[in-house]
Amino acid sequence: MIRYTSRDLGQEYIMKRKMIRAIVMAILLAIGLAIFVALYIDEKHRVQETYRKQYRNSIVAVKEDIEDYQNADGDFELRYRRLTADAAVMSSFAFLLDDFEERQKVVNLFYTTVLKYPKQTEEHFDDFKAALDDLLANLDKGYDEIQAVIDTFDLKGY
């Protein structure tokens, strides 16, 4: 038979208290981590929503620039520069969106063709406006329409 002295019982009591304290701390840390992760995910969704709004605003700006260019009586160069600038903004916001890889490529290709091939772009403004209208209506076919129009471009010429 083992006999415990008061010293052994005191140390056992101290060890139980330390173990309970460690378990409580682990639970509190797990709760804190869960709260931190939830707040991070919530903030990420808010940021993505802001990017989506900015992306939609840039689509509207590009569409308005095309209309301004078509309805203008003069100063076409300034209007076209504004169009390329807004297309660059549209491309930038597309690259900030998550889960958007294939669409990002089409938007970047749109910006590149607007920048490099102004004469050919002018010929297809109505097609681009229709595609941008579809994008604003949240229709994925707008990206396919942009790709189809760009596929008609002579990429070796102006």
The pLDDT tens digits for 31-69 are 999 999 999 999 999 998 999 899 999 999 999 999 999
Mean pLDDT in residue range 13-24: 93
97: helix, coil or strand?
coil
Residue 27 has a pLDDT of: 97
99-154 pLDDT per residue, tens: 788 888 999 999 999 999 888 888 899 999 999 999 999 888 889 999 999 999 88
Contact between 110 and 146 under an 8 Å Cβ cutoff? The reply is yes
Confidence of residue 9 (pLDDT cuts 50, 70, 90): low
**C-alpha distances in angstroms, 126 versus 69, 97, 118?**
11, 27, 14
What is the CB-side half-sphere exposure of residue 126 using CA atoms within 13 A? 1
Return the structure tokens found at 92: 């930038």
Confidence of residue 156 (pLDDT cuts 50, 70, 90): confident
Q: How many CB atoms lie within 10 A of CB 48?
A: 15
Return the structure tokens found at 77: 């160069």
pLDDT at 2 over 80: no
* C-alpha dihedral sign at 129, 64, 87, 100: negative
Of 53, 47, 124, nearest in space to 89 by CA: 53
Contact between 94 and 104 under an 8 Å Cβ cutoff? The reply is yes
Task: Give the global pTM.
Answer: 0.76
Confidence of residue 12 (pLDDT cuts 50, 70, 90): confident
The amino acid occupying position 130 is A
- H-run or E-run covering 31: helix 6-71
Residue 4 has a pLDDT of: 58
